[in-house]
C-alpha cells in the first residue's frame, strides 16, 4: 500500500535485456539505472531503481536488487514474489524479468569473467 514500509521494500529480481533494443546492456552495478517495470497483463508503469546487480550481457539472466522510486505516491504491491514483468526505458521495451523475493538488500555475487 502507498506510503508503507511494504511498499518501500527492496526487491530481488532476475532480468534479461534483449539485444537490438539498446546499444549496450545497462549497468546494474552503478546503482543509477532507473527503468520502468510493467507487470504482465497490466498497463501501469512502475518506476524503479537498481541498487546493485550482476554484470549484464544481452539475452542472459542478470540478478539485482531494486527499490521503488515513488513509494509515497504509487502502489507497488503488484510486484509480488514470482511476478513477471516487462522492462521499459523511455517508453521502449528493452527486456523482461521476474520478482524473486522481497528482502533487505540481497548480497549480489559478481560473475567471474
Question: Considering the domain boundaries, does residue 53 fall inside one?
Answer: yes
Assess contact for 51 and 27: CB atoms under 8 A.
no
Question: Considering the domain boundaries, does residue 1 fall inside one?
Answer: no
DSSP letter at 80 equals -
What local confidence, expressed as pLDDT, does residue 22 receive?
84
What local confidence, expressed as pLDDT, does residue 104 receive?
58
Nearest to 70 by CA among 62, 79, 61: 79
Cell of 55: 554484470
Largest CA distance in the chain: 41
Question: Considering the domain boundaries, does residue 20 fall inside one?
Answer: yes
Assess contact for 79 and 37: CB atoms under 8 A.
yes
Q: Which domain holds residue 21?
A: 6-103
The model's pTM:
0.86
Q: Which CATH number characterizes residue 80's domain?
A: 2.40.30.10
Question: Considering the domain boundaries, does residue 75 fall inside one?
Answer: yes
What local confidence, expressed as pLDDT, does residue 2 receive?
67
pLDDT in tens, the chain (113 residues): 666 667 678 999 999 999 988 889 999 988 889 999 999 999 999 999 999 999 999 999 999 999 999 988 999 999 999 999 999 998 899 999 999 998 755 555 555 54
What local confidence, expressed as pLDDT, does residue 29 receive?
86
Question: Considering the domain boundaries, does residue 111 fall inside one?
Answer: no
Q: Count of domains in the chain?
A: 1
Question: Considering the domain boundaries, does residue 54 fall inside one?
Answer: yes
DSSP character string of 11-59: EEEEEEE-TTSSSS---STTS----EEEETT----EEEEEEEEPPP-TT
Amino acid at each position: 500500500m502507498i506510503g508503507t514500509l511494504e511498499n518501500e521494500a527492496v526487491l530481488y529480481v532476475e532480468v534479461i535485456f534483449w539485444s537490438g533494443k539498446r546499444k549496450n546492456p545497462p549497468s546494474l552495478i552503478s546503482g543509477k539505472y532507473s527503468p520502468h517495470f510493467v507487470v504482465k497483463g497490466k498497463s501501469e508503469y512502475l518506476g524503479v531503481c537498481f541498487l546493485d546487480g550482476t554484470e549484464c550481457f544481452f539475452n542472459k539472466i542478470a540478478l539485482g536488487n531494486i527499490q521503488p522510486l515513488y513509494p509515497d505516491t504509487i502502489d507497488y504491491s503488484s510486484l509480488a514474489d514470482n511476478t513477471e514483468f516487462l522492462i521499459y526505458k523511455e517508453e521502449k521495451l528493452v527486456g523482461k524479468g521476474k520478482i524473486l523475493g522481497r528482502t533487505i538488500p540481497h548480497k549480489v555475487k559478481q560473475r567471474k569473467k
